[in-house]
Amino acid sequence: MAATSGSVRLQRCIVSPAGRHSASLIFLHGSGDSGQGLRTWIKQVLNQELTFQHIKIIYPTAPPRPYTPMKGGISSVWFDRLKISNDCPEHLESINVMCQVLTDLIDDEVKSGIKKNRILVGGFSMGGCMAMHLAYRNHQDVAGVFALSSFLNKTSAVYQAVRESDGVLPELFQCHGAADELVLHSWGEETNSMLKSLGVSTKFHSFPGIYHELSKPELEKLKSWILTKLPGEMERQSE
């Protein structure tokens, strides 16, 4: 590996819960963005901050690295890839290094008293892909995974890990704009169908007229799903 766990400490933007912290959400940005950038974008789309009574939101920032689709230019990306396509090999070396780095983030939450089954991981675009690698290959005991406008390559190592798993896998929540021209809607659908066929419980929501972007209906749906996976004290008592 080019880096080891602990050699990179990610910058992170934190939104604290309004009440007692009993669950955590790790939200990964898309390529070239930052944790603060994603937080601001969500706030603009919703016209308010995404906050919860009991859930801490962590928006980490990917460290800058050379990115092949930008002809080797430096960008804040979670991993490298040959091109933005579902039909090429994954750059597993960079993905595996980042899984290690993001594991430190999960470990920090566990050390602070949050159980793994009270942690959600997800992201937008490349962030959603990174979250699927992180959860399905390394942390199959998290509460769930979400991927917005995201996809996995046809021969993804995620599929192999899921095939080899004999435990209960976290549920996958996906949203995708039907008019997305960068990450095709069909790539997201194919990812969902493949994981479903391998035994993952999945949800897939299509949004007509939405491009490669976040939308208010999508974020409202995501918020509802988050609360079903990470209920607060009152909801858990009534179950």
Q: What is the mean pLDDT of the chain?
A: 94
Q: 3-state class of 19 per DSSP?
A: coil
Active site includes 22? Answer: no
Distance CA 29, CA 16 (A): 18
The answer to whether the CB of 203 falls within 8 A of the CB of 172 is yes
Structural domain contains residue 55 = yes
Per-residue pLDDT at 210: 97
Q: Which candidate in 24, 94, 125, 150 is catalytic?
A: 125
Convert the pLDDT of each residue in 162-209 to its tens digit.
999 988 999 999 999 999 999 999 999 999 999 999 999 999 999 999
Over 90: is that where the pLDDT of 62 sits? Answer: yes
Structural domain contains residue 207 = yes
Distance CA 143, CA 149 (A): 20
Structural domain contains residue 230 = no
The answer to whether the CB of 116 falls within 8 A of the CB of 142 is yes
Structural domain contains residue 182 = yes
Over 50: is that where the pLDDT of 139 sits? Answer: yes
Structural domain contains residue 237 = no
Over 90: is that where the pLDDT of 94 sits? Answer: yes
Q: Which candidate in 21, 33, 176, 180 is catalytic?
A: 180
Alpha-carbon Rg for the chain, nearest whole angstrom, is 17
Per-residue pLDDT at 7: 63
CATH number of residue 30's parent domain: 3.40.50.1820
Per-residue pLDDT at 31: 96
For the chain, the domain total comes to 1
Structural domain contains residue 40 = yes
The answer to whether the CB of 225 falls within 8 A of the CB of 204 is no
Active site includes 180? Answer: yes
Convert the pLDDT of each residue in 140-162 to its tens digit.
999 999 999 999 999 999 999 99
Structural domain contains residue 151 = yes
Over 70: is that where the pLDDT of 213 sits? Answer: yes
Q: Which candidate in 75, 104, 206, 212 is catalytic?
A: 212
Percent of the chain that is helix, strand, coil (3-state, to 5): 40, 20, 40
Structural domain contains residue 231 = no
Q: Please give the structure tokens belonging to residue 237.
A: 């008592």
Convert the pLDDT of each residue in 180-192 to its tens digit.
999 999 999 999 9
**Full residue range of the structural domain in which residue 216 is found:** 12-225
